[in-house]
């Protein structure tokens, strides 16, 4: 249909003719932040979704548990990205035949209780075995979905990323919940301090740094302050919440929400040696949301 595209776009343009474009709202909203650290919130949410969550503080304890637990299975399909020390001592099998699939998560998300998986380790081993074990590094447990989704920005790391948030389920038969319909009926998420040290050969998987190197309390201390943008426009920092800073522009009274992780990203870039000398550089290197005010915040903290 070589002309279909042209005709569809022409009809869309004609439909929109003479209408004002609607501006996109600034910054996505964040769920209200619950008390508790990310790993605890992640565990609670993943369990509520029906996943089993284990947290190990010692690599030795994780390996001992694995050896013991894996004895209940006959075979496993294991991601090449799982370090040898965390591979169950089982005969290897294809994903279609294996009783256990073992993955390594790129990240985990506290808000939703999800693990982020990559197709670079193979998709079928995440789906076909009836039981799915996912290793997660503690530092890769992120607070919000957007932080995990950043992995998609720029150049996506694989052809398919997936968020798994519990065992496969359906209530299509008379509203009665059944587990393990097509995908795994059990999802076991094991959190360990590091997947690098124990094996010394595990590949480093790039992921966002949750801490970001930004002292949020310093940002908090800006609340109520009057600041100016690089071009001299004055604005007020209305309030600073757990994840956002809200600014009000003096001249128009309009408010903008600046996201914490945008600022964190900018600070990371600066730490990595990329100078962010003004709003334009901020927009290019960090985030395109309210760059004039975001940059001014960083400038007020002597960070940019």
Partner 1 sequence: MAKGYKAAAKRALAEQPQVRESVTRATLHFDANRARAYAEVEAEAWRDWAAATKRHTLSRLDRYLIQAEARLLASGAEVHWAEDADDAQQILRELIDRYGVQRVVKGKSMLSEELEVNGLLERLGVEFFETDLGEYIIQLAGEPPSHIVGPAIHKNLEEIRALFHEKLGTPPDASPGALAAAARKVLREAFLTADMGISGANFVVAETGTVVLVENEGNIRLSTSAPRVHVVLAGIEKLLPRVCDLEIFLQLLARAATGQKIGTFVSLLNGPRRPDEPDGPEHLHVVFVDNGRSSVLADREMYEALSCIRCGACLNTCPVYRQTGGHAYGQVYSGPIGIVLTPGLRDPRLAEDLGYACSLCTACADVCPVKIPLPKQILTWRVRSAKRAPAAERMAFAGYAQLMTRPRFYRISGKLLRIAASLTGAPWLPVLGAWAAGHGALEPSPKSFREIWEEDLGNA
Out of 55, 104, 140, 144, the only residue in the binding site for partner 1 (CB under 8 A) is 144
Of 50-79, which residues contact partner 1 (CB under 8 A)?
none
Does 285 bind partner 1 (CB under 8 A)? Our answer is: no
Does 103 bind partner 1 (CB under 8 A)? Our answer is: no
Measured from the CB of residue 43, what is the shortest distance to partner 1 in angstroms?
14
Beta pairing class for 186-192 and 131-137: parallel
Stretch that binds partner 1, among 63-71, 98-106, 114-122, 188-196 (CB under 8 A): 114-122
Out of 60, 71, 85, 164, the only residue in the binding site for partner 1 (CB under 8 A) is 164
Does 174 bind partner 1 (CB under 8 A)? Our answer is: yes
CA 253 to CA 258: how far, in whole Å? 16
Out of 52, 150, 209, 238, the only residue in the binding site for partner 1 (CB under 8 A) is 150
Of 243-272, which residues contact partner 1 (CB under 8 A)?
none
Out of 44, 70, 149, 301, the only residue in the binding site for partner 1 (CB under 8 A) is 149
Lookup: tokens for 130:
């009836």
Does 111 bind partner 1 (CB under 8 A)? Our answer is: yes
Cα Rg of the chain (Å, integer): 23
Does 200 bind partner 1 (CB under 8 A)? Our answer is: no
DSSP secondary structure letter of residue 113: T
Measured from the CB of residue 221, what is the shortest distance to partner 1 in angstroms?
25
Does 44 bind partner 1 (CB under 8 A)? Our answer is: no
Out of 75, 120, 241, 255, the only residue in the binding site for partner 1 (CB under 8 A) is 120
Does 172 bind partner 1 (CB under 8 A)? Our answer is: yes
Measured from the CB of residue 107, what is the shortest distance to partner 1 in angstroms?
12
Out of 39, 127, 246, 300, the only residue in the binding site for partner 1 (CB under 8 A) is 127
Out of 31, 36, 72, 224, the only residue in the binding site for partner 1 (CB under 8 A) is 31
Does 204 bind partner 1 (CB under 8 A)? Our answer is: no
Does 36 bind partner 1 (CB under 8 A)? Our answer is: no
Q: Nearer to partner 1 by C-beta: 106 or 191?
A: 106
Does 84 bind partner 1 (CB under 8 A)? Our answer is: no
Does 207 bind partner 1 (CB under 8 A)? Our answer is: no
C-alpha distances (whole Å) from 236 to each of 28, 226, 254, 298, 302 are 21, 4, 11, 14, 18
CA 163 to CA 95: how far, in whole Å? 19
Out of 47, 63, 123, 285, the only residue in the binding site for partner 1 (CB under 8 A) is 123
CA 196 to CA 93: how far, in whole Å? 25
Lookup: tokens for 46:
């993943």
Residues 106/117, Cβ–Cβ less than 8 Å: yes
Out of 139, 165, 221, 255, the only residue in the binding site for partner 1 (CB under 8 A) is 165
CA 66 to CA 92: how far, in whole Å? 16
Three-class SS state of 28:
coil
| Helix/strand/coil (H/E/C) assignment for every residue in 250-270 | CCCCCEEEEEHHHHHHHHHHH
Does 196 bind partner 1 (CB under 8 A)? Our answer is: no
What phi and psi, each to the nearest 5 degrees, are found at residue 9?
-65, -35
Half-sphere exposure of 33 (CA within 13 A, CB side): 13
Beta pairing class for 186-192 and 255-259: unpaired
For residues 211, 44, 46, 91, the Cα torsion angle rounded to the nearest 10 degrees is 90
């Amino acid at each position: 249909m070589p002309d279909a595209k042209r005709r569809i776009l022409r009809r869309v343009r004609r439909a929109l003719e003479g209408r004002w474009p609607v501006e996109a709202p600034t910054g996505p909203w964040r769920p209200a932040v619950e008390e508790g650290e990310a790993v605890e919130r992640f565990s609670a949410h993943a369990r509520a979704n029906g996943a089993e969550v284990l947290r190990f503080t010692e690599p030795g304890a994780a390996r001992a548990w694995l050896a013991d637990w894996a004895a209940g299975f006959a075979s496993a399909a294991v991601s090449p990205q799982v370090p040898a020390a965390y591979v169950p001592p089982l005969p290897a099998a294809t994903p279609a035949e294996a009783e256990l699939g073992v993955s390594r998560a790129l990240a985990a998300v506290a808000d939703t209780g999800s693990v982020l998986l990559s197709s670079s380790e193979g998709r079928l081993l995440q789906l076909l075995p009836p039981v799915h074990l996912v290793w997660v590094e503690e530092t890769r447990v992120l607070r919000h979905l957007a932080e995990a989704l950043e992995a998609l920005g720029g150049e996506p790391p694989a052809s398919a990323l997936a968020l798994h948030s519990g065992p496969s389920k359906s209530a299509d038969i008379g509203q009665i919940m059944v587990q393990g319909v097509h995908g795994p009926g059990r999802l076991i998420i094991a959190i360990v301090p590091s997947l690098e040290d124990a094996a010394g050969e595990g590949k480093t998987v790039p992921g966002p740094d949750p801490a970001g190197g930004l002292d949020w309390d310093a940002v908090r201390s800006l609340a109520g302050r009057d600041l100016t943008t690089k071009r001299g426009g004055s604005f007020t920092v209305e309030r600073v919440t757990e994840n956002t800073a809200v600014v009000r522009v003096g001249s128009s009274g309009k408010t903008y929400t600046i996201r914490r992780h945008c600022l964190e990203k900018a600070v990371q870039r600066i730490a990595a040696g990329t100078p962010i000398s003004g709003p334009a550089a901020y927009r290019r290197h960090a985030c395109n949301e309210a760059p004039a005010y975001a940059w001014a915040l960083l400038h007020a903290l002597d960070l940019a």
